[in-house]
Structure 1
């Protein structure tokens, strides 16, 4: 018997023994999926026992939303009759996690649920509000009859209280794995072990109930020969290793939904809000009407007659006491930066921040309680922050928001500030940055994340809405900021130059005119309106100001990756070529003082290497803003009745200018990044590998099939006024093969690498079938397949033949001849019908060392 068979037999015996010892472990489905299995069925409902036989004098009981009893390791719910069939919000989060696995407070799911009594059984049902109808209309009965609430779990009634309230033994809800609320993916686990899972803490309150349960998961050893890698986490965080277990403190918070629903506000795509959606069959439209309501907090004036009034209940964020003391004032500043915007909507002191109470001050306070909105500080090397919120699915009312700040967001902010504006702020020219500066950078992050928790998504269009010249106008920027909203990824003003004389405080984004306009539009009360439809005329009237003030506009649906003015990490992308030219000047200045900033006597080169990589990353991002001009469409979010179209091709001259810039900036070797004295302090391949990776990235972006399809579309629309694929390839030939078009050619090693990579990408275009993905597009276009019979093949083949002629030139030294012969062979193989390009890669694997940007925002270097 082979050693492999022996190993397999040993594993099989071990698995059998494990199964025999722990028969209750819940394994993944037989199909190999990672979703959790449905818990075992509940016991049959027997005749209920007398109340005092179930809830004895030994029980520890708590009154509240649901009366709870703990007895001999079991948890009983006594559900008041008045609470039956009433909708509750259930929020499930990971309150504590194993070391280095994600973070405390991760919300895993939130649902609307209700308890329903069916004879001697109580059902926990998941309620959907995606299909609705006015209860007063006949069709409401059809809607109710055609939809079924999912049963999450069923419980036999153990007893009835004197008032008829059912008593159930609810432990299974928290000690078995329910797919909707599982931590399986969070941990990358495969097995759930109920024998190591139990209810740990219970707190009942008048309007909510909190349960904490310890749940244990594990990952078995991989089969023989399989790579011992953990399963990926959907959150982009580490997971359990094979052969290990992890215990999560799962937090379940049941909260009453508002008895009186808030008046919803209808969404308008010309302004950005997160939203809730439903299909309303009670509407008068001649179709199933899709209704979309913005998510927002319920703000009501104490004095409805006052132009500006304090709210009945302000939006309150509690600052986690784990937050380092020096940062607490800046976190508070970041939250309350939104106050002026709410004053424009008629509310004074609408949003406040305060330290979370201590146990002595409030023993019942819990950061996982869905009644409280908490800003958590997470000890994690992840460089990120995020600000989700939980809303009432009926109306969009935001009920709770928890903002998470990972510790290493400080490092990410330092890197961005250093690589973008260090030449304009002497404090940033040596490391570490002073605490007062780091605090301001942290406050900016908090204000951005609070924006999400107020209902605002990203608005990437904002970075192109100011006239380009204003980005360097210090008077304009002092008043308006260099970007009109904090909800863009427009970090620090890298377009500004030292001679512009900026106050460093004005280099950091601040609350802008778009933010104030969005708060006013979404939160200003309209007292005369009794229904959401009553508000629409007023809301539409408010939006007319966007026609004359473009910085109040929002991103266009279908514009991402298409509109050169809707890019992430951009400043001044109204003119990306000029912005990147100026940004590169600042990067060149930074290279000059990099050694002084990062090299400390007696210390290693870690910080130096990290910041050198950050400079490369910033340069690549800025190049991406130029590349997207090719095949681009300028967009403007409009509704019927507004003049002009929503998508306009970028003029031919701007596209040609972009390619000309890239030819000179990246395809011509950027010696300013390749200082031999600096490279000698890094690894042996520090320069050439990074350069080729950057060049390949730009070429891949320019030769993307979706981009070439847009160029074909523009040619069909504009004729000889369009910038075409043929012109793009001709211009790239001039930049990539410059030396071969002049006598006495000499081709440096970096340029030889570039030329081979370019031919490889052309070969992929000619010989690889387009992937069967769906094209991105505007309204009604998302289901169009990628064009698989476009003009690309013919144009690429013609270009390869032109290059074949170019590389056939005679003469040259031994090195040049070897390179030209190699290029000729490469072209011949591409043009040969039998040639088959790799199906899943672009050829050579490039290893690069990059700054971690896995969040805030977690972007690739080149956006398309």
Structure 2
């Protein structure tokens, strides 16, 4: 009996404990009002409660199976361009919905990559059940009342949602993990708005062996604390009409498989991304918008930069006017009482980093339709300083301790910022890069689109350089056509497909086309009109002109390029962009060699499809490229060499901004020529390019062949007499060695075509025969002996070849592994 009483007492105690647990939140029997007593309630799109005693966020879910948008972002970044974890970086959007199952709520992401656009629910269900979904989180219900439930959102928020750990690992900056003990809610940026609810976390990552990038920017590099943001956003209503994508005119957007499509039609559907914009008077040729697109500028941007950003952003109104709207695109300063986290504000944000880097324009869009909900531009603050430095080398003249009364350097930098703002905002409107536009638009310097990457137009005036027309001052003609395609509203009853086709065809009649990153970025890319940071309708002519600008810039280079009182050693930072001023035009001209002209033609649209660049143009390009490896071109003028001492104490140079050297602290007079010559040879002897030379001469024997190209190259280097000047002679020998190494690389490239390898081997053997003759000059004899040794080693085990690692140019564009348009679209720094 006593045992039974003890057992009963234990059961009663256990029941009491379970009841107490229910009141403390481990059961959903409590009401939300009772459970949240004493907590701070924050009503909004998703209402949440802040439990200050436990440091928790409790989310009130009042609607199940209703889709909303979730995305993470980085509110406070690391500050390193190389790692890429910048303030304002946007994560991937996810359409999610809350689904209840018993005492649990799942946050589920449907799979919108595979759909059935059909009225038949069974047909839609068949597709839905054929592909996996993603469950982002599961929550235990802590309390409920009147159909609403309360869940603990804190564990979901306490994660590395933007992939910072992966970014640190990918860039080899150490092995890190999230430390929950040093992570917490950040309440100042945790808010609820009518259309979105925002949560921000202080996230601390700890790790071992932090890399150089982290050591540059983090006070204690083994402890990296950043702010990660979580956004829950109301999705737009069903009033948005998706617009079809056309490959002949550039737009980013969405694509998915539609399994309800008739077999005779393409199953893949592609639509563009765009803001919702409608006319107040659809029948009017020009009308105000029902709701204009408004972009807000970060008030933390200093003047005169702020005004430049506002002016450049406002250029887009010109394009919307062409599409039939009046004042449909507006630019304002973000009001003091507005919150940049509010989804209703399109934002141009000013961001700081420790090094120069890219800017980018991204957007938050509805993955179901492509409708842009919010545009977000991130502009790096060091950009303007790099532009100013380039202008300093071109036209700077610090004759005394006072700055010049008139500052063309700042004027050029401001012009660049206007163009940059227009470019990045263009991305947020749905537009990708259009790299062929620098060859179109009329005039000597094609400026058909702000969506190209232009470098400054430096014009020659006598023995000086003029920057008064450095950058475009308005929106481009292509930009107007692209906005018309994306945003023009057609009359009721009009055939939209026909109307869109007419826009594209009329654009072609105006001499404008579209080619983008995949056509321009690869080193071995094909089209000679697509390149980054080039100018001019003809790449070869522009290379010659740019080379003349470079010659004048170097001839005028003096101590007056830096202010009085500045260490003389810092002249090197100004020299680098002047010496390498031809770098991007070399890359553009190299695409003429083995180049092909093509368009994104559709069958029946009348566009030219594809043709090989005429042989005479290829030969002109080759001549212009070989001129850039001439010793007289490569040698740094000796008066400049006398101006640059080693850097003084506490003025250590950024290694990216100066030439690499093998001479210790002192400036290496051979490093700059080696880097420049190596750049030209890398582009000219690209494996894909030389393979096209073999193919084009097989199809047409009159075309430039690989044998002919290599013969001219050898004639400009190995088979050409050394210059009388001893410095230039050493530069020539250096270039000779680079050519030989490139030939050996081609001959041993197992991924290359067999005929490329055969021709390269032939040229190596011909050189070997020539080198057999003894040389009397000891420098030349040593040069030949080294070359014969490299050839001998290449004939045996390729691993035995131990060439000197070629010097590379200082960074032009920042280094990054991201895809520009697939991440947010970036704007690299020249």
Instruction: State whether residues 251 and 432 of structure 2, in contact with CA within 8 Å, keep that contact through their aligned partners in structure 1.
Output: yes
Instruction: State whether residues 493 and 508 of structure 1, in contact with CA within 8 Å, keep that contact through their aligned partners in structure 2.
Output: no
Q: Which runs of 5+ in 1 are unaligned?
A: 1-44, 223-227, 473-481, 771-787
Give the direction of change, closer, same or farther, for the CA distance of 1:734–1:745 in structure 2 (3 Å limit).
Answer: farther
Partner of 1:581: 544
- Structure 1 SS opposite 2:577: helix
Cα drift, residue 268 of structure 1: 0.6
Map 1:174-573 to 2 at 5 A. 174-175=157-158, 177=159, 180-185=161-166, 190-201=176-187, 202-220=190-208, 222=209, 229=211, 244-286=222-264, 289-358=267-336, 362=337, 365-383=338-356, 384-417=358-391, 433=408, 435-466=410-441, 470-471=443-444, 482-494=446-458, 504-505=468-469, 507-508=471-472, 510-528=474-492, 535-555=496-516, 558=519, 561-572=525-536
Map 1:593-608 to 2 at 5 A. 593-595=556-558, 597-608=560-571
Which residue, out of 20, 34, 38, partners 1:58? 38
Map 1:152-167 to 2 at 5 A. 152-161=136-145, 163-167=146-150
Cα drift, residue 465 of structure 1: 2.7
Q: Does 1:812 align with 2:776?
A: yes
Q: Does 1:679 align with 2:659?
A: no
Encode CA deviations 1:159-182: one digit per residue, 9 max, x unaligned. Answer: 221x2112212221212x25x544
Aligned length: 757
Farther-moved stretch of structure 1 (114-123 vs 746-755): 746-755
Give the direction of change, closer, same or farther, for the CA distance of 1:711–1:518 in structure 2 (3 Å limit).
Answer: same
- Structure 1 SS opposite 2:321: helix
Give the direction of change, closer, same or farther, for the CA distance of 1:238–1:303 in structure 2 (3 Å limit).
Answer: farther
Cα drift, residue 508 of structure 1: 3.4
Cα drift, residue 302 of structure 1: 1.8
Instruction: State whether residues 492 and 509 of structure 1, in contact with CA within 8 Å, keep that contact through their aligned partners in structure 2.
Output: no
Cα drift, residue 808 of structure 1: 3.0
Partner of 1:730: 711
Partner of 1:708: 690
Encode CA deviations 1:52-82: one digit per residue, 9 max, x unaligned. Answer: 57524312212222222223333222211xx
Q: Does 1:129 align with 2:102?
A: no
Partners of 1:610 and 1:430 lie apart in 2 by 24
Encode CA deviations 1:376-425: one digit per residue, 9 max, x unaligned. Answer: 112324333211111111111111121111111112222444567889xx
Partner of 2:822: none
Cα drift, residue 811 of structure 1: 5.4
Partner of 2:67: 87
Encode CA deviations 1:564-607: one digit per residue, 9 max, x unaligned. Answer: 111111111x4222111111212222223332641333321255
- Structure 2 SS opposite 1:282: coil
Encode CA deviations 1:89-125: one digit per residue, 9 max, x unaligned. Answer: 1132121245768443222332221111122211111
Partner of 1:590: 553
- Structure 1 SS opposite 2:69: strand
TM-score by length of 2: 0.84
Map 1:689-708 to 2 at 5 A. 689-708=671-690
Instruction: State whether residues 383 and 829 of structure 2, in contact with CA within 8 Å, keep that contact through their aligned partners in structure 1.
Output: no
Partners of 2:430 and 2:403 lie apart in 1 by 33
Encode CA deviations 1:661-708: one digit per residue, 9 max, x unaligned. Answer: 22233234316x521111122254443111011112211222221111
Partners of 1:744 and 1:154 lie apart in 2 by 75
- Structure 2 SS opposite 1:117: strand
Partner of 1:104: 87
Instruction: State whether residues 253 and 370 of structure 1, in contact with CA within 8 Å, keep that contact through their aligned partners in structure 2.
Output: no
Cα drift, residue 240 of structure 1: 5.5
Give the direction of change, closer, same or farther, for the CA distance of 1:273–1:382 in structure 2 (3 Å limit).
Answer: farther
Partners of 1:337 and 1:635 lie apart in 2 by 30
Cα drift, residue 559 of structure 1: 6.2
Instruction: State whether residues 252 and 430 of structure 2, in contact with CA within 8 Å, keep that contact through their aligned partners in structure 1.
Output: yes
Instruction: State whether residues 396 and 560 of structure 2, in contact with CA within 8 Å, keep that contact through their aligned partners in structure 1.
Output: no
Partner of 1:21: none
Map 1:619-658 to 2 at 5 A. 619-643=582-606, 645-658=608-621
Cα drift, residue 243 of structure 1: 6.0
Partners of 1:289 and 1:49 lie apart in 2 by 49
Partners of 2:258 and 2:464 lie apart in 1 by 55
Partner of 1:67: 47
Farther-moved stretch of structure 1 (253-262 vs 726-735): 253-262
- Structure 2 SS opposite 1:48: coil
- Structure 1 SS opposite 2:444: helix
Partner of 2:575: 612
Partners of 1:489 and 1:437 lie apart in 2 by 16
Cα drift, residue 639 of structure 1: 0.6
Q: Does 1:147 align with 2:131?
A: yes
Cα drift, residue 488 of structure 1: 0.6
Cα drift, residue 724 of structure 1: 1.0
Give the direction of change, closer, same or farther, for the CA distance of 1:557–1:648 in structure 2 (3 Å limit).
Answer: farther
Partners of 1:679 and 1:327 lie apart in 2 by 35
Partners of 1:160 and 1:814 lie apart in 2 by 91
Give the direction of change, closer, same or farther, for the CA distance of 1:700–1:160 in structure 2 (3 Å limit).
Answer: same
Cα drift, residue 307 of structure 1: 1.6
Give the direction of change, closer, same or farther, for the CA distance of 1:304–1:789 in structure 2 (3 Å limit).
Answer: closer
Partners of 1:192 and 1:825 lie apart in 2 by 53
Partners of 1:124 and 1:575 lie apart in 2 by 55
Instruction: State whether residues 133 and 281 of structure 1, in contact with CA within 8 Å, keep that contact through their aligned partners in structure 2.
Output: yes
- Structure 2 SS opposite 1:648: strand
Partners of 1:61 and 1:742 lie apart in 2 by 81
- Structure 1 SS opposite 2:385: helix
Give the direction of change, closer, same or farther, for the CA distance of 1:518–1:238 in structure 2 (3 Å limit).
Answer: farther
Give the direction of change, closer, same or farther, for the CA distance of 1:351–1:186 in structure 2 (3 Å limit).
Answer: farther
Instruction: State whether residues 64 and 207 of structure 1, in contact with CA within 8 Å, keep that contact through their aligned partners in structure 2.
Output: yes
Give the direction of change, closer, same or farther, for the CA distance of 1:442–1:637 in structure 2 (3 Å limit).
Answer: same
